DNA sequence: CTGAAAGCGCTTACAG
DNA sequence: CTGAAAGCGCTTACAG
């Protein structure tokens, strides 16, 4: 390849006629502490600039035992929810001088396991993970090694681990209450088939709101499989339309909403005339659906920022476990009366 | 932090009672080549498993001078175009046993420069970059050092550098021809104000199609500033609607289309009755716009895969420069008659 | 104020 | 078949 050999501190040391230790000190701003003479400080900086020195972070990482790198594992980076989260995390991490390596787990345990292993081998200093179903062991394994982790979006209540999540119960609870207040009774929740806490809580929020209003007889939950989302959703909506037994639909995630909107559109369902709809998370498509969708909004920015902040604290040795729950808010549009 | 000390090959060597070299050999599958005795091979594998050994990639990277890491720089990871591209690149890189570190440049030269520097310091083995305007120097600097780079989406024609891009000329050329064939004459292009080749080519495709049809007098191009997209677009669409002098609009990127759709919707423009519209790249929102948008589609998957393939070849020492141009296709819907 | 040296965890020629 | 040793590019106690 004939690539030019990279300049190291050794080259600078030679150029200036001084030991590599000195070079390292001044390049790390320790010249005061180590009381390096002004003259040498100048010369070293000059040489570094002249030779266009770039520190080798890999060597530094090996020596220091820290890489200033965060491992980010999400379900799918191409899902806008996670893409936006990743962006916030990237920017926030940069403020602390961290870079991020990411991976998409596709909600698969084995993929997630191999991602964690790969990033661990790459010596990331900590993880921000949106964990998949049934993967508690992977996480608890990290936790038991005192490895810095913060879970985001989802978490495992049985595990003593940092997390930043939406108040998922509140999210559906308040959305359903809003629907009830508007006079809807036959309200159906469309959720993922999942044992993950965020989904359980969203379901619970729906159930409690219904029960509190004395609508337990109207409880109706449809569970969609993540891996079969479009076919499951298609059939589900077809049935709902045919049965004509629901007045309102609440979707429990962004992807579910989107998928549901396609099916509703295909069925030419009149919203909210025939069926009221409440979405989750927000998406440009919600704005162009007819009518613009009312949805439950997550504070993504805060979620990303908090995750990074907590992770950095952990990396710096904090022992206290943070559980951050963020408030959703319902963005009112016209997909319910 | 009291984290448990990580297991190294030294520990395995001690456990088995053998030198670290042997351990390294068998863990790297060189036991045949180095003719290590079967017995020791077994013992080493057993010890590695028992101690739950995980190789330190940082140490390996330092020694080998390669990190098996790709640096990916896009304009904005939260933009679905780039999010999807990132996903393809991630998956493809994984097949070659590479991980990816990403950064978002926000189309800013200085941000892009500091990203490149940071990733270079982290010793990435190569870059996949969607370069920003006026940042040729950064790229040519890498190229002149023989550093593996492949540009994606955009490139610099004056630079001898690998790229994978859309046939941008063809994209607008065929879309505009399609419009002309349908009888539209007053066709307006809404593009970014940019000197980047992909934009120039999209403009050229429009211009040539118009000229070839003898419509040079109808040429009309509006340039939007990236940093002011929503205000520029708002005003632009307002004027178009007021002037009532255009029959069809062609948008030159995904973000422009999306932004334009919001403005069209706000103005209650009847599409295609009042104005035909052709979008770029595809987006769920295009599907829910009334009517579903006709758009120019990029082969994203191929684009990502090709980039990785070429980059890996470069990393492995290939000298030949690849210029890949991919064909767009127009997805016909009903936003033009 | 400065330098020689150890060591982070690997890989890999070299010697036997 | 196996081991001792150098070295990747840094940081950092230690000694003077």
User: Does residue B61 lie within 7 Å of nucleic acid chain C, judged by its CB?
Assistant: no
Out of A1, A54, A104, whose CB is closest to B117? Answer: A54
- Please write the tens of the pLDDT for every residue from A211-222: 999 999 999 999
B236 confidence band (pLDDT: 50, 70, 90): very high
Q: Residues of A with CB below 8 A from B107's CB?
A: none
B contact test, residue of A107, A122, A138, A260 with most B CBs within 10 A: A122
Q: Looking at residue A36, what is its pLDDT? A: 86
- Please write the tens of the pLDDT for every residue from A153-162: 999 999 999 9
A1 confidence band (pLDDT: 50, 70, 90): very low
Task: Report yes or no: A22 at the B interface, CB cutoff 8 Å.
Answer: no
Q: Which of residues 43-72 of B touch A (CB under 8 A)?
A: 54-59, 61-62, 67, 69
- For nucleotide D4, the protein residue with its alpha carbon nearest to C1' is B19
Tokens encoding A272 = 């909210």
Q: Return the minimum-mean-pLDDT range out of A184-188, A286-290, B35-39.
A: B35-39
Q: What is the mean pLDDT of residues B314-320?
A: 92
Q: What is the mean pLDDT of residues A247-266?
A: 97
Alpha helix (H) ranges present in chain A? 9-16, 20-27, 38-50, 57-64, 80-95, 109-121, 136-144, 168-181, 197-212, 229-243, 254-266, 284-288, 300-315
Out of B78, B90, B261, whose CB is closest to A84? Answer: B78
Residue B12 CB contacts under 8 Å (≥ 6 apart), including other chains: B23, B44, B47, B48, B51, B53
User: Does residue A62 lie within 7 Å of nucleic acid chain D, judged by its CB?
Assistant: yes
3-state SS assignment for residue A299? coil
Q: Looking at residue A37, what is its pLDDT? A: 87
Q: Which nucleotide is nearest to A60 (CA to C1')?
A: D10
- DSSP state, A282? -
Q: Looking at residue B3, what is its pLDDT? A: 47
B337, B181 in Cβ contact below 8 A? no
Residue holding tokens 């540009």? Answer: B151
* Mean pLDDT of the residues in chain A: 94
Residue holding tokens 């998370």? Answer: A281
Write out the DSSP string of A219-252.
--EEEE-GGGHHHHHHHHHHHHHHHT--SEEEES
- Please write the tens of the pLDDT for every residue from A57-114: 999 999 999 999 999 999 999 999 999 999 999 999 999 999 999 999 999 999 999 9
Residue A172 CB contacts under 8 Å (≥ 6 apart), including other chains: A189, A201, A202, A203, A204, A205, A206, A209, A250, A252, A296
A321 confidence band (pLDDT: 50, 70, 90): very high
CA distance B331 to B328: 10
> Exposure pattern of B105-129 as b/e (b: 16+ CB <10 Å)?
bbbbbebbbebbebbbebbbbbbbb
CA distance B106 to B28: 41
What dihedral do alpha carbons A305, A309, A314, A319 form, nearest 10°? -110
Q: Which nucleotide is nearest to A41 (CA to C1')?
A: C1
pLDDT at B105 over 50: yes
CA–C1' gap, A23 and D12, in angstroms? 13
Q: What is the mean pLDDT of residues A185-212?
A: 97
Q: Looking at residue B1, what is its pLDDT? A: 39
pLDDT at B4 over 70: no
| B103–A103 CB contact, under 8 Å | no
pLDDT at B142 over 60: yes
CA–C1' gap, B50 and D4, in angstroms? 27
pLDDT at A2 over 50: no
Residue B298 CB contacts under 8 Å (≥ 6 apart), including other chains: B81, B166, B171, B281, B282, B326, B328
B128 confidence band (pLDDT: 50, 70, 90): very high
CA distance A53 to A6: 8
CA distance A317 to B171: 54
Task: Report yes or no: B79 at the A interface, CB cutoff 8 Å.
Answer: yes
CA–C1' gap, A19 and D16, in angstroms? 15
- Please write the tens of the pLDDT for every residue from B42-97: 999 999 999 999 999 999 999 999 999 999 999 999 999 999 999 999 999 999 99
pLDDT at A3 over 70: no
Q: What is the mean pLDDT of residues B159-170?
A: 96
Cα of B89 to nearest chain A Cα, Å: 11
Q: What is the mean pLDDT of residues A257-277?
A: 96
Q: Residues of B with CB below 8 A from A120's CB?
A: 54
pLDDT at A273 over 90: yes
Q: Looking at residue A173, what is its pLDDT? A: 98
Q: Which of residues 262-281 of A touch B (CB under 8 A)?
A: 262, 265
Cα of B249 to nearest chain A Cα, Å: 18
3-state SS assignment for residue A295? strand
Which of A165, A201, A199 shows the shortest CA–CA distance to A307?
A165
Q: Global pTM?
A: 0.92
Tokens encoding B64 = 């080998």
Q: Which nucleotide is nearest to A22 (CA to C1')?
A: C2
Task: Report yes or no: A213 at the B interface, CB cutoff 8 Å.
Answer: no
- DSSP state, A265? H
Task: Report yes or no: A329 at the B interface, CB cutoff 8 Å.
Answer: no
A70, A311 in Cβ contact below 8 A? yes
| A79–B84 CB contact, under 8 Å | no
A4 confidence band (pLDDT: 50, 70, 90): low
pLDDT at B333 over 50: yes
């Amino acid at each position: 390849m004939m690539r030019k050999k990279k300049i190291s501190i050794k080259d600078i040391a030679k150029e200036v006629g001084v030991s590599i230790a000195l070079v390292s000190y001044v390049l790390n701003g320790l010249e005061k502490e180590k009381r390096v003479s002004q003259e040498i400080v100048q010369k070293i900086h000059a040489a570094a600039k002249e030779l266009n020195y770039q520190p080798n972070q890999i060597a530094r990482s090996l020596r220091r035992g820290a890489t200033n790198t965060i491992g980010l594992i999400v379900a799918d980076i191409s899902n806008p929810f996670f893409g936006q989260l990743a962006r916030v995390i990237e920017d926030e991490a940069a403020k602390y001088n961290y870079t991020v390596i990411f991976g998409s787990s596709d909600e698969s345990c084995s993929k997630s396991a191999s991602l964690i292993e790969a990033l661990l081998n790459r010596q990331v200093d900590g993880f921000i993970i949106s964990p998949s179903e049934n993967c508690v062991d992977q996480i608890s394994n990290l936790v038991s090694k005192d490895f810095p982790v913060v879970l985001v979006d989802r978490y495992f209540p049985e595990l003593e681990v940092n997390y930043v999540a939406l108040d998922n119960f509140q999210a559906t609870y308040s959305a359903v209450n809003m629907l009830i207040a508007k006079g809807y009774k036959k309200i159906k929740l469309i959720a993922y088939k999942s044992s993950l806490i965020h989904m359980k809580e969203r379901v619970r929020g729906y159930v409690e709101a219904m029960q509190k209003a004395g609508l337990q007889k109207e409880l109706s939950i449809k569970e969609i499989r993540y891996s079969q989302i479009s076919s499951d959703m298609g059939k589900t909506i077809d049935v709902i339309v045919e049965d004509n037994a629901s007045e309102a639909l609440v979707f429990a995630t962004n992807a579910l909403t989107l998928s549901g909107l396609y099916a509703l559109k295909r069925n030419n369902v009149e919203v909210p005339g025939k069926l009221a709809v409440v979405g989750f998370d927000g998406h440009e498509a919600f704005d162009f659906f007819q009518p613009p969708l009312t949805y439950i909004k997550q504070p993504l920015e805060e979620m990303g920022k908090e995750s990074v902040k907590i992770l950095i604290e952990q990396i710096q040795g904090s022992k206290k476990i943070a559980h951050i729950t963020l408030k959703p808010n319902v963005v009112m549009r016209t997909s319910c009366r």
